[in-house]
């Protein structure tokens, strides 16, 4: 071979290698991603099926005897033995037959039978999971677990209260007494206020009662009666203590009516209780006095009623009559019986004329008078202090209270609101807080650092400011409150509310208004992205594009609106690639019948994108493929296809069955309800056409794999009963480590037993 020929061959080889390397990252899209549907033939019943049928018939027949059931079970067992002798796979029907036989026995036999079945190795996973759940829902076992939870809670509360302050003081032993003493005091107070019957014990009592009601003739039910009676007496004492404490709190809050109701409720559980009877007597006495005082305040003398007729007529007359009549009364009798009524009427007329400051000043002077010397003092006080009628004063007081809260938190820390409520006399509660005072003092440097960043959680100033602007949009304080409210709403992230207020302010700077409009458009745009319903998302996007067209978010919303309308579909039920990989039957011949190479992980023959397959409704599906770049994070290539009614019916039936089976086998994959999805699946099973796009019947359900939902490794709780806690303290820059007893998790129905 000549040198030139060798050089040409080398160049050709290099060119081929370069071309191959350039094409290696390109992912082709399959021309036809689906295979033809296989034809399924009818199958004849096998001997095991016939034997199982005979056994089921005898189990369901009320005339069957135990000998008949044993014979049917033996026949099924012989058929199973023949299958094993012929090296055939076991049918798995024997465990189901045993489960059916156990269901005909009493609760104890069912429980023992379930435990015996769980010890077998040939148990179907679905049957194993069902039996485990049945045992987990057994009232006796549930009661035993709740009693164990109650003991763990009591022990854990005491151990944690002692171990935590010790562990936090490892690096600074001098602080151990300061931390340990408050913890011990808090534990003692908590034990004092703990109910007679804890929530877990109440659950156990309910489970015992349920078991006795369901199985009144069971020997175990008779043995439970004594425990139920003891727990019931403790429950009555718990209820008595609860309502007595509530009645005392109601009396301290000056609500005798509520105290009467709670004391009567306590007497229902303890009819002869002295404390409840004494509380009821005191509450009734105070309620009677309150009603008597209220009745007295509604009476008026005949002389005052006749003398005020002219003033009352003036109040109902045209403008100007109030002022004239009130000034006439004051000129005639400056200290007469109707002088305060005249001043009150003048203040109302002044307020209606726009003189807010003078009107509220006059009402304030009237409110300071004595109720015995002035007929209108309490009326003026109620009007002046009403947040509805005087929102500006309420706004000022709310802002002052918010600032006061921040200052109290700075100097008092956890005691900013006073001694914590422990259901004890108030002086005793303050005495209990004495051991925590050193911690309050030591935490002052930390609070000084955090003080500039702490914001009040009060929303009342904003409510009162809005109320004022609604009542007095052109009032004397409107400009001040509107400017404050714009900053308040923008500071708490309500840019849309801030821009509406700013647009009503003629003195707002254009630059600030433009910034607020941009923030409001971004807020609406984010809300539209998070909206799942198509009609609401379209409405929000249209609103952003029309109300804020000159903003960046407005232009993006317009583009998103066009894309949303273009790609809108009757349904949007997505089946991810992870779900298809974990459940290959759904993608296999009996389901969607996708080509196997779409899920083999090889990019050179086409690969399904993690988005997977989407059911769009009306027998239309969308397949997402990995982009030509080969990177899954890039936008996928989408291919829409119309499938046959048979393929869609098979796919949705197998998808629904698979998801329900997964929910039975794995509690971490619950079968989530979705009415719109179920309606679409039901119509698809019967081969009915989709009625068309309906936003109120559009499902956006997503089928995800367990790995996509939980990551590579699912979170699991430690088998150890304690957690190792590492904790730092900014107040003294200390570091502590201690074990903490893990408290039992609350059951979903625990809130019913509080």
What's the whole-number mean pLDDT along residues 218-236?
89
Q: For position 748, what pLDDT does the model report? A: 86
Which residues, including other chains, have CB under 8 Å from residue 562's CB and lie 6 or more apart?
Answer: none
Is 301 within a domain? no
577/666 same-domain check: yes
85/152 same-domain check: no
606/680 same-domain check: yes
Contact 569, 699 (CB under 8 A): no
Which residues, including other chains, have CB under 8 Å from residue 206's CB and lie 6 or more apart?
Answer: 753
Position 6 confidence tier, pLDDT thresholds 50, 70, 90: very low
Name the residue among 588, 709, 692 with its Cα closest to residue 650.
588
Q: For position 308, what pLDDT does the model report? A: 57
Is 223 within a domain? no
Q: For position 348, what pLDDT does the model report? A: 76
603/510 same-domain check: no
* Structure tokens belonging to residue 208: 């015992």
Q: For position 693, what pLDDT does the model report? A: 65
Task: Tell me the whole-structure pTM to 2 decimals.
Answer: 0.64
Q: Residue 349 and residue 343: Cα distance in Å, rounded?
A: 10
492/561 same-domain check: yes
Q: Residue 460 and residue 467: Cα distance in Å, rounded?
A: 10
68/179 same-domain check: no
Residue 633 phi, psi (nearest 5)? -80, -15
Is 500 within a domain? yes
Domain that holds residue 433: 393-453
* pLDDT more than 90, % of the chain: 22
Q: At what angle do helices 93-102 and 107-118 cross, to 10 degrees?
A: 160
638/584 same-domain check: yes
Q: Residue 645 and residue 715: Cα distance in Å, rounded?
A: 41
Task: For the chain, count helices (H), then strands (E).
Answer: 33, 7
Q: Name which residue leads in pLDDT, 56 or 309.
A: 56
Q: Residue 464 and residue 17: Cα distance in Å, rounded?
A: 76
Alpha carbon of residue 434 to chain centroid: 37
Q: For position 393, what pLDDT does the model report? A: 87
Q: Residue 219 and residue 564: Cα distance in Å, rounded?
A: 66
Contact 156, 741 (CB under 8 A): yes
Is 150 within a domain? yes
* Structure tokens belonging to residue 644: 């046959």
pLDDT above 60 (res 420)? yes
> How far is CA 502 from each of CA 299, 305, 543, 599, rounded to the nearest angstrom?
49, 50, 19, 56
SS3 639: strand
596/527 same-domain check: no
**Intra-chain end-to-end CA distance of the chain, in Å:** 95
SS3 51: helix
583/684 same-domain check: yes
516/433 same-domain check: no
Alpha carbon of residue 414 to chain centroid: 27
What's the whole-number mean pLDDT along residues 419-445?
77
SS3 709: helix
Is 291 within a domain? no
Which residues, including other chains, have CB under 8 Å from residue 422's CB and lie 6 or more apart?
Answer: 189, 192, 193, 429, 432
What's the whole-number mean pLDDT along residues 337-353?
75
pLDDT tens, position by position, 548-599 = 988 899 999 999 989 888 888 888 999 999 999 999 999 998 889 999 888 8
365/432 same-domain check: no
Is 203 within a domain? no
Write down the H helix ranges in 592-666.
645-665
Contact 665, 713 (CB under 8 A): no
pLDDT tens, position by position, 38-51 = 876 677 888 888 88
pLDDT above 90 (res 380)? no
* Structure tokens belonging to residue 389: 């009628």
Question: Nearest 10 degrees: CA dihedral of 207, 210, 212, 218?
Answer: -90
Q: Residue 333 and residue 342: Cα distance in Å, rounded?
A: 10
Looking at 661, 692, 723, the residue that finishes a domain is 692
Q: For position 712, what pLDDT does the model report? A: 65
Q: 293-309 burial by CB neighbour count: b if 16+ within 10 A, else e?
A: eeeeeeeeeeeeeebbe
Looking at 356, 385, 414, the residue that finishes a domain is 385
Q: For position 217, what pLDDT does the model report? A: 80
522/445 same-domain check: no
Is 304 within a domain? no
pLDDT tens, position by position, 125-168 = 888 888 888 888 889 889 999 999 999 999 998 898 888 888 87
Looking at 545, 566, 587, the residue that finishes a domain is 566
Q: What is the domain count for the chain?
A: 6
Q: Residue 297 and residue 317: Cα distance in Å, rounded?
A: 27
Is 209 within a domain? no
């Amino acid at each position: 071979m000549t040198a030139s020929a060798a050089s040409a061959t080398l160049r050709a080889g290099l060119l081929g290698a370069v071309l191959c390397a350039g094409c290696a990252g390109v992912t082709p899209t399959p021309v036809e991603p689906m295979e033809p549907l296989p034809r399924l033939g009818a199958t004849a019943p096998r001997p095991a099926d016939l034997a199982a049928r005979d056994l089921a018939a005898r189990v369901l027949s009320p005339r069957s005897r135990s000998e008949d059931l044993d014979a049917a079970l033996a026949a099924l067992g012989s058929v199973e033995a023949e299958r094993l002798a012929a090296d055939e796979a076991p049918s798995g029907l024997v465990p189901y037959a045993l489960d059916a036989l156990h269901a005909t026995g009493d609760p104890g036999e069912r429980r023992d039978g379930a435990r015996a079945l769980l010890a077998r190795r040939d148990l179907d996973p679905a049957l194993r999971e069902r039996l485990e759940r049945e045992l987990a829902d057994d009232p006796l076992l549930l009661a035993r677990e709740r009693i164990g939870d109650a003991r763990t809670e009591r022990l854990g509360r005491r151990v944690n209260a002692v171990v935590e302050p010790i562990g936090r003081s490892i690096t600074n032993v001098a602080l151990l007494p300061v931390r340990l003493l408050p913890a011990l005091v808090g534990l003692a107070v908590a034990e004092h206020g703990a109910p007679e019957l804890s929530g877990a014990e109440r659950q156990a009592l309910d489970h015992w009662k349920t078991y006795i009601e369901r199985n009144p003739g069971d020997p175990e039910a008779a043995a439970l009666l004594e425990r139920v009676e003891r727990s019931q007496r403790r429950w009555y004492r718990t209820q008595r203590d609860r309502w007595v404490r509530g009645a005392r709190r109601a009396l301290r809050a000056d609500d005798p009516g509520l105290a009467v109701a709670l004391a009567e409720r306590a007497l229902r559980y303890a009819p002869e209780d002295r404390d409840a009877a004494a509380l009821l007597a005191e509450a009734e006495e105070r309620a009677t006095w309150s009603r008597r005082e209220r009745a007295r305040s509604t009476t008026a003398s005949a002389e005052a009623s006749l003398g005020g007729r002219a003033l009352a007529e003036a109040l109902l007359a045209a403008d100007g009559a109030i002022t004239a009549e009130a000034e006439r009364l004051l000129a005639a009798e400056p200290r007469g019986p109707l002088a305060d009524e005249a001043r009150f009427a003048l203040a109302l007329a002044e307020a209606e004329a726009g003189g807010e400051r003078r009107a509220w000043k006059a009402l304030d002077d009237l409110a300071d008078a004595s109720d015995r010397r002035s007929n209108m003092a309490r009326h003026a006080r109620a009007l002046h202090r009403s947040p509805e009628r005087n929102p500006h004063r309420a706004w000022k007081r709310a802002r002052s209270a918010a600032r006061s809260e921040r200052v109290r938190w700075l100097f008092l820390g956890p005691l900013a609101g006073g001694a914590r409520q422990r259901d004890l006399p108030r002086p005793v509660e303050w005495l209990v807080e004495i051991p925590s005072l050193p911690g309050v003092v030591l935490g002052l440097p930390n609070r000084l650092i955090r003080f500039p960043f702490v914001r009040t959680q009060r929303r009342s100033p904003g409510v009162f400011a809005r109320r004022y602007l609604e009542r007095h949009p052109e009032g004397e304080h409107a400009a001040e409150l509107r400017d404050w409210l714009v900053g308040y709403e923008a500071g708490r992230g309500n840019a849309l509310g801030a821009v509406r207020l700013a647009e009503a302010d003629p003195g707002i700077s254009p630059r600030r208004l433009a910034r607020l409009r941009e923030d409001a458009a971004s807020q609406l745009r984010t809300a539209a992205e998070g909206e799942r319903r198509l009609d609401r998302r379209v409405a929000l996007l249209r609103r952003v594009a029309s109300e804020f067209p000159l903003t960046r978010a407005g232009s993006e919303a317009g583009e998103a609106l066009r894309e949303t309308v273009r790609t809108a579909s009757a349904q949007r039920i997505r089946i991810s690639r992870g779900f298809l990989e974990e459940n290959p039957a759904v993608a296999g011949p009996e389901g969607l019948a996708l080509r196997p190479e779409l899920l083999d992980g090889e990019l050179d023959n086409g690969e399904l994108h993690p988005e997977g397959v989407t059911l769009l409704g009306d027998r239309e599906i969308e397949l997402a493929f990995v982009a030509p770049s080969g990177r899954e994070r890039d936008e996928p290539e989408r291919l829409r296809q119309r499938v046959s009614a048979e393929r869609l019916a098979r796919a949705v039936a197998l998808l629904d069955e698979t998801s329900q089976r997964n929910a039975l086998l794995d509690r971490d994959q619950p079968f989530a309800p979705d009415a719109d999805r179920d309606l679409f699946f039901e119509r698809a099973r019967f081969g009915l056409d989709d009625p068309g796009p309906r936003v109120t019947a559009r499902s956006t359900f997503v089928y995800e794999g367990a790995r996509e939902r939980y990551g590579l490794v699912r979170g699991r709780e430690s088998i150890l009963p304690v957690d190792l806690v590492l904790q730092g303290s900014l107040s003294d820059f200390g570091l502590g480590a201690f074990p903490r007893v893990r408290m039992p998790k609350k059951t979903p129905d625990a809130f019913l037993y509080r």
